[in-house]
Amino acid sequence: MSPEAAHAPARVKFDVEAVRREFPILDERIHDQALVYLDNANTTQKPTSVLETLDEFYRHQNANIHRATHLLSERATAAYEGARAKIARFIGARETGEIVLTKGCTDSLNLVAQSFARPRLKAGDEILVTWLEHHSNIVPWQLIAQITGAKLHVVPIDERGDLTLEDFEKHLTGRTKIVSVTHISNALGTILPVREIVELAHDRGIPTIVDGAQSAAHLPVDVQAIGCDFFAFSSHKMYGPTGSGALYGKRRWLDEMPPCQGGGDMISTVSFEESTWAPVPHKFEAGTPNIAGVVGFGAAVDFLRRFDLDEVAAHEHDLLEYGTARLAEVPGLRIIGTAARKSGVLSFVMDGIHPHDIGTVLDQAGVAIRTGQHCAQPVMDRYGIPATARISFGIYNTRADVDAAIGPLHDVRKLFG
């Protein structure tokens, strides 16, 4: 990791009003109303520094990477690999070689399932997940289970959306060969004790994967402290571009794993008889990647590294508490998910009113929220509901944003009540 690439940007004191001025889209008007964006668990908006980095890349650096000697290619390669170094530093990886650049968290989890888990599983083995998982941490394991004869085993949650370590430990058996859990539930906001979960699994020699899509932008993440074998996350939930993400993997595993896609840039030699692979991490990065997206991802990491993420987490927790209190004022509204440790997510239902109707009324008032199953249908099934409306906070949200949603929610009750 080069000192230049990994050097931290100058730290600034967190000031939400100053932060808001860095996001041009917050000046947008929706249905002639000022935009209030409360859909951050879905995707986040982009600061000027990320937008300018993308523009700079396409204007002055655009070329393919690793494959040419001309200056533009050298610039593009330096920017791409520099972003990898920033990402490694951001999550506490030991080296840049432990960061595989992917299309996003879903791509990362599928890579682990296909390349790491598939060769290790056989009929009767179990893959342990929780009831809180996003579809991206369910479906890849189901596909592998169908191929290998392994089974998906699920740790339940209680009515609050919590699970206890004691209950989790009961589900670890001699058949458990893989543990893959979310760090933060996108549907309920529950924060899982991933460090302790990893310890319980490792005590039994079980490898661990953490889905960090919802945590990387909201909590300080140190993969060495967590101890997990793999950690997957996405740029677009970290104020960066869509279509880029990363997989952290311990070097010992990445060295052992076979590539799961073939093509250019992941090879060392190719003949019609056989091919040999490039070293880690490049053997997992076949073809021309989303170069600009990765460079923009690096800029998003720079943006986040300017702040103390503990301060950001405290700001978002204040919004969570304030939002919880304000939602309680709305007749017939019930919050789904009241875990003891929560991130800035408020999922809710209103008696007799479909969440899509709630979202439509709020949209007319300029307030953007998510409605539906949130790619977490088993969570909805757990509570016997078809869907929820969801408010989710980001670094630029304020109490005024919460207030902007409350009036339209009362209007929903009047319209459909």
- Mind telling me the catalytic residues? 375
Cα separation, 29 vs 96, whole angstroms: 41
Cα separation, 362 vs 364, whole angstroms: 5
- Residues 189/195/199/202 CA torsion (nearest 10 deg): 80
Query: Which amino acid, residue 35?
Result: L
DSSP 417: -
* CA dihedral for 136, 140, 143, 149, sign (positive or negative): negative
Cα separation, 109 vs 102, whole angstroms: 10
**Complete edge-to-edge strand list for the sheet that includes strand 245-249:** 99-102, 245-249, 230-234, 208-211, 176-182, 126-130, 151-155
- Name which of 350, 366, 339, 403 is nearest 26 in CA terms: 366
Residues 6+ apart with CB under 8 A from 221: 90, 91, 92, 183, 212, 215, 231
Bridge partner list, 155: 130
- Token match 């997510």: residue? 345
- The helix/strand/coil state of 268 is strand
287 close to 258: Cβ distance less than 8 angstroms = no
Cα separation, 153 vs 4, whole angstroms: 45
349 close to 388: Cβ distance less than 8 angstroms = yes
Residue 215, token pair as written in the block? 């945590």
- The helix/strand/coil state of 194 is helix
SS (H, E, C) 64-78: CCCCCCCHHHHHHHH
363 close to 38: Cβ distance less than 8 angstroms = no
Burial class (CB in 10 A: 0-12, 13-18, 19+), 13: exposed
